Structure 1
Amino acid sequence: MVQRTRFDDSECPVARSVDAIGDWWSLLIVRDAFDDCRRFGDFQRSLGVAKNILTARLRTLVAQGILETAPAADGSAYREYVLTGKGRALFPVIVALRQWGEQHFFEPGEPHSELIDRRRGQPLRALEIRATDGHIVGPDDTFVEKAPSPGDSTG
């Protein structure tokens, strides 16, 4: 069996984030959790994923602190999966993927689902990346700087 490469000790936040999420099934589970999907059967119906794959992904998301199990809201004996604060913090990631997909994988006028602001009833604006002073930045405006290792001195 091939062992999965782990990135949980990488210096790169993107690599650590991908390591925590695991794969695309996990992102779709998180997407569905934002859409109020809470029970195993609901996730399975929505995604059409095999039970063993769904079980493994849900366990990983719980182990990573992205989802937690809770008693069923209806008082039944079932357990439900609920986004934690860490999981809810994935909202901008899901929105960014959605907007990227809308822009690059649909023809103009082709119907697709939309994310709507509940209060205003309007679609969301495109996400913007801004510097600390508020100006919009793109990939050519940024660079990655390696953080100093503990014990490094610049003295």
Structure 2
Amino acid sequence: MEEYGDRALRYAFVTLHVKDDAEDTAQEAFVRLWRHTERHGADTLSPALLFHTITNLCRDRMRYYKRHPEDPTDILEVTQSAVDEVPLLLEDVNVLDAVMKLGVVERQCILLFYYMDRSLKETAAALGVSEQVVKTRLYRARQHLRPLLEPLWKEGLL
């Protein structure tokens, strides 16, 4: 938990946009993996398994809030306060704003591959998809980021 705790929390937060939900999700992932290691006798924690578990827990939470719109916490909506609370994953706020405008699956791929330095194989395992799907999502995410960041690049803000 000491080794992956911060990264797990950041990944959950950027996916969910609600600090309390992200903390609960990251904690739940570690509890589930601890139970898994006790049952199966594994000695080490696989980062791919950790991020796969967090991804599934985030998806479950988002499904819940979609199905229960009367709940006052809407985790699918990005608010400025959520953007302000993001730990400094990205060096530039403009890049962060652009990444936050991406869809959930594209944002997850970008974060795992580029900012958490996961390989295609590790990213695919964490998201529970094939490597080709990750490549496609990364390509689409870059295509969506290009028009958002190009004006800033031309103005010299990046």
**TM-score normalised by the chain length of structure 1:** 0.29
Q: Which structure is higher in strand share?
A: 1
Greater C-alpha Rg: 1
Higher relative contact order (CA 8 A, sep 6+): 2
More helix by share: 2
